[in-house]
Structure 1
Amino acid sequence: MLRVAMLSGWHVHARGYANQLKNMPDVEITAVWDEDSQRGKSWADELGADFEPELDALLQRDDVDGVVVTAPTNMHRDIMVAAAGAGKHIFTEKVMALTVQESNDIAEAVKKSDVKFCICFPHRIEPANLFAKTAIDNGLLGDVTLLRVRNAHDGASANWLPEYFYDPIQCGGGAMMDLGAHPMYLCRWLLGEPKCISAMFNSFTAKPVEDNAVAVIEFKNKALAVAETGFVSSHSPFSLEVYGTAGSLLIGGVDGKVHLHSDMTSVDMKGWLVPDNLPERLPHPIEQWVNGILHGAPIYFGIEEGIQLTELMQAAYISYKEGRKVEFPII
């Protein structure tokens, strides 16, 4: 049995993670901590768990084996360093932390305590995106020249996101820091090590943070990537496009399908194809975390991946704020 504490109901995904855990037979939610005591007490009652007003006290509990971190992003470093120091396994909402230094502090604490760590990268479990990775790695598209990933919704323009999601202190940014994490980690996973990045953000709704954002990344293999995101796009389906010297791959869009045109396919498979042999979906990240702790199963998104995402994010915000291209590594 894995006994889990929920650390804050701040993030919009917090309740979703709790519901997933409640539906797992070998998991029990035993405690809740929240920087907002009223919210935390209410949520603990809903979950049938104890509310602990002090984080240190919660981390000393014998009936807590692991924690789910869905607190404000600017609190991630201190929470996770403390959790690792107390020997608790960690599952965290993206991003890992606001700076590479903070992420490195977390990494050091996790490695020192030898606890399991998983960051939530849900788009990396999807069959279509796994197919893209295989197609690129196997040279089905030749040398990749351009990758475009778009992930956007209308949370700001339709006014359904919580107001604190526009707090530049708690969040460290806006649409790019939150929803833009998905295009960013997909670009890093698919194309490898980045060389430099340029970012352009604005606030269409006049929020304190950006709600409309684009980052252009050059990778060491000379491929370019465009990561698009926003809180001001209605009916904007996820899309991933890969273009190479020997083919093109289009994923998502209006029909949500995978479309491939490759010079590397056999003669009887020319033109645009809709592959039907996609890889099997991986377990959800929180399932990976639980199974990694209880059964030693693989956790595909860990410390290294978390740091890589933070590095892209920190560089993108430097680029936007200073109006310049930023080279990697940034520190």
Structure 2
Amino acid sequence: MSQPLKLAVLGFWHVHAKDYAQQTEQHPGTELVAVWDDDRALGQAGADQFGVPYTDDLDALLSREDLDGVIITTATNVHRDLMVKAANAGKHIFTEKLLAPTVAEAEEIIAAADANNVKLVVSLPRLAHGYTKAIQEVLDSGELGQLTYGRVRLSHDGAIAKDGGSDGWLPRRFFDSEAAIGGALTDLGCHPVYLLQLFLGADAETVSATYRSVAGRDLEDNAVVTVGYADQKIGVIEAGFASPNPFTIELFGTAGSLTYTDEGNVLRVAGKELPVPDHSQDPFGQWVGHITDGTRADDNLARAVELTRMVVAANEAAATGRTVPYAGRQA
């Protein structure tokens, strides 16, 4: 294993590829050494931005003995093939969510990583945010009583054209149904999904969904998913690319309520404002730690599978116009 760890970015398809490349440059334990992309224009531009070589030969890149790991930020539909190939080459993997288009593919990726002693981490950054820790402490205290309802909303205006343009700032490839698998719910909605599963549980019974496209694209830019639980809780997941709303969490119980907004980073319980701690180690830093310590990201991987399961169920519910069963397990 190299010191620092030598890493390559596989794919500049996702808008966060540059963020992870920048994290690689800034982390004292990592070094960016190469970029691969099957789209030469995207890959070369990314390589040029960070001053590293671009290659179109994936097999040659993965065969490099000095390469320790890869950051996979390609289109979602090729995650399984790339990650299994990288795992079989013994390269550690950090990946943008969604882990895979299906639960079976997600489990196949994890199995390949485990078989090759590869450390795999999926980017679920809001689990490490300070408000998440503070909210979990409130729930653990029992102050809200029995939870009855939870709502998490995250939205930006990336699909909305401005200044006379025909597109928003979000690349049009995010609305390619084959490559992206889904729209706002599958991409941005992942964050509300895993947070709702943390707060309310991943043992839902039913899932229903309504998707709409404000910008008239092939995939939704406006989504609401409703989740039903056996103990009668209701969860609501909202995601959009069509409005710059503040990030919002609302939790209601038999004894009280909690609200959080990132406008001012304000957390209130029963009308009283609570302090919000600093963020803990981000997923990229966690990944580096798992590599150096030889540990497995058990909680991260379990939540990544349940996230995939919920997104698949929501997309099915939206496509069929009916409520579908959720065959998950407690995370």
Q: Same fold (TM over 0.5)?
A: yes
| Counterpart in the other structure of 1:275 | 274
Quick one: distance in 1 between partners of 2:198 and 2:242?
Answer: 26
Identity %: 39
- Residue type at the aligned position of 1:217: V
Q: Which runs of 5+ in 2 are unaligned?
A: 162-167
Structure 1 pair 297–109 and aligned structure 2 pair: CA distance change class (3 A): closer
Quick one: distance in 2 between partners of 1:48 and 1:62?
Answer: 21
1:1-331 maps to which residues of 2 (within 5 A)?
1-158=4-161, 159-192=168-201, 193-234=203-244, 236-252=245-261, 254-261=263-270, 272-276=271-275, 278-295=276-293, 299=297, 302-329=300-327
Quick one: distance in 2 between partners of 1:137 and 1:99?
Answer: 32
- Residue type at the aligned position of 1:91: F
Name the stretch that deviates more: 294-303 or 14-23.
Answer: 294-303
- Residue type at the aligned position of 1:201: Y
Structure 1 pair 66–220 and aligned structure 2 pair: CA distance change class (3 A): farther
Alpha-carbon distance, 1:42 to partner:
3.1
Quick one: distance in 2 between partners of 1:74 and 1:131?
Answer: 35
Structure 1 pair 174–80 and aligned structure 2 pair: CA distance change class (3 A): same
Quick one: distance in 2 between partners of 1:280 and 1:39?
Answer: 35
- Regions of 4+ moved over 4 Å: 296-301
Name the stretch that deviates more: 278-287 or 202-211.
Answer: 278-287
Aligned pairs, how many? 319
Alpha-carbon distance, 1:298 to partner:
7.9
- Residue type at the aligned position of 2:211: F
Quick one: distance in 2 between partners of 1:102 and 1:299?
Answer: 18
Name the stretch that deviates more: 290-299 or 25-34.
Answer: 290-299
SS state of the match for residue 324, structure 1?
coil
Alpha-carbon distance, 1:304 to partner:
1.3
**Over aligned residue pairs, what C-alpha RMSD do you find?**
1.8
| Counterpart in the other structure of 1:264 | none
Quick one: distance in 2 between partners of 1:137 and 1:226?
Answer: 21
Quick one: distance in 1 between partners of 2:230 and 2:112?
Answer: 30
Cα-to-partner distance string for 1:50-109 (whole Å, 9 max, x where unaligned): 322122221111121111010000010111111111111110001001111111111111
- Residue type at the aligned position of 2:304: G
Quick one: distance in 2 between partners of 1:301 and 1:96?
Answer: 14
Cα-to-partner distance string for 1:164-203 (whole Å, 9 max, x where unaligned): 1111111001111111111011111111122111000011
Quick one: distance in 2 between partners of 1:92 and 1:188?
Answer: 20
Alpha-carbon distance, 1:279 to partner:
4.3
Using the size of structure 2 for normalisation, the TM-score is 0.92
Alpha-carbon distance, 1:288 to partner:
0.9
Quick one: distance in 1 between partners of 2:170 and 2:314?
Answer: 23
Q: Which runs of 5+ in 1 are unaligned?
A: 262-271
Alpha-carbon distance, 1:297 to partner:
7.2
Conserved in 2, the CA contact under 8 Å of 1:119 and 1:301?
no
Alpha-carbon distance, 1:124 to partner:
1.1
Using the size of structure 1 for normalisation, the TM-score is 0.92
SS state of the match for residue 273, structure 2?
coil
- Residue type at the aligned position of 1:206: G
Conserved in 1, the CA contact under 8 Å of 2:119 and 2:295?
no
- Residue type at the aligned position of 1:57: A
Alpha-carbon distance, 1:296 to partner:
5.0
- Residue type at the aligned position of 2:259: L
Alpha-carbon distance, 1:286 to partner:
0.7
Quick one: distance in 2 between partners of 1:142 and 1:202?
Answer: 35
Quick one: distance in 1 between partners of 2:86 and 2:269?
Answer: 45
